[in-house]
Amino acid sequence: KAGVTQTPRYLIKTRGQQVTLSCSPISGHRSVSWYQQTPGQGLQFLFEYFSETQRNKGNFPGRFSGRQFSNSRSEMNVSTLELGDSALYLCASSPLGGSDTQYFGPGTRLTVL
């Protein structure tokens, strides 16, 4: 089976812009979780989608949003980018979410100038 894929792998944006990141889960997996990884804060949970519904959300501002499509692919969007949004954004898929094992993609490296 193919693993979790994320596009693009690298992205450079300027402050105030918005960005959309994409994640394709492992075939058959219906849950997608998103995480932000920074040197200072480590790995932090953003949100989780299951069957096109957001089931859980972390402590991030409303500028961070996401969605999931009927084929389980997911996108996350960050609006009005700030310098502090520079990070590695990771998505992970699992069959049903909850306490299922999560498998991570390679991440999207976002740099905000």
Partner 1 sequence: GENVEQHPSTLSVQEGDSAVIKCTYSDSASNYFPWYKQELGKGPQLIIDIRSNVGEKKDQRIAVTLNKTAKHFSLHITETQPEDSAVYFCAASPNQGGKLIFGQGTELSVKP
Q: Identify which of residues 20 and 95 has a Cβ nearer to partner 1 in the complex.
A: 95
Q: Identify which of residues 84 and 98 has a Cβ nearer to partner 1 in the complex.
A: 98
State the nearest-atom distance from the C-beta of 48 to partner 1, in Å: 3
State the nearest-atom distance from the C-beta of 5 to partner 1, in Å: 11
Strand 103-104 relative to strand 19-24, pairing: unpaired
Q: Which residues bind partner 1 (CB under 8 A)?
A: 4, 31-33, 35, 42-45, 48, 50, 55-56, 58, 90, 92, 94, 97-107
State the nearest-atom distance from the C-beta of 102 to partner 1, in Å: 6
Strand, helix or coil for residue 59:
coil
Amino acid (1-letter code) at residue 79: S
Q: What is the C-alpha to C-alpha distance for residues 63 and 34, in angstroms, rounded to an integer?
A: 14
Q: Identify which of residues 15 and 105 has a Cβ nearer to partner 1 in the complex.
A: 105
Q: What is the C-alpha to C-alpha distance for residues 64 and 78, in angstroms, rounded to an integer?
A: 5
State the nearest-atom distance from the C-beta of 56 to partner 1, in Å: 3
Q: Identify which of residues 16 and 98 has a Cβ nearer to partner 1 in the complex.
A: 98
Instruction: Tell me the two tokens of residue 107.
Output: 């991440």
- C-alpha pair distances (Å), 69 with each of 8, 23, 49, 72, 85: 18, 11, 10, 5, 25
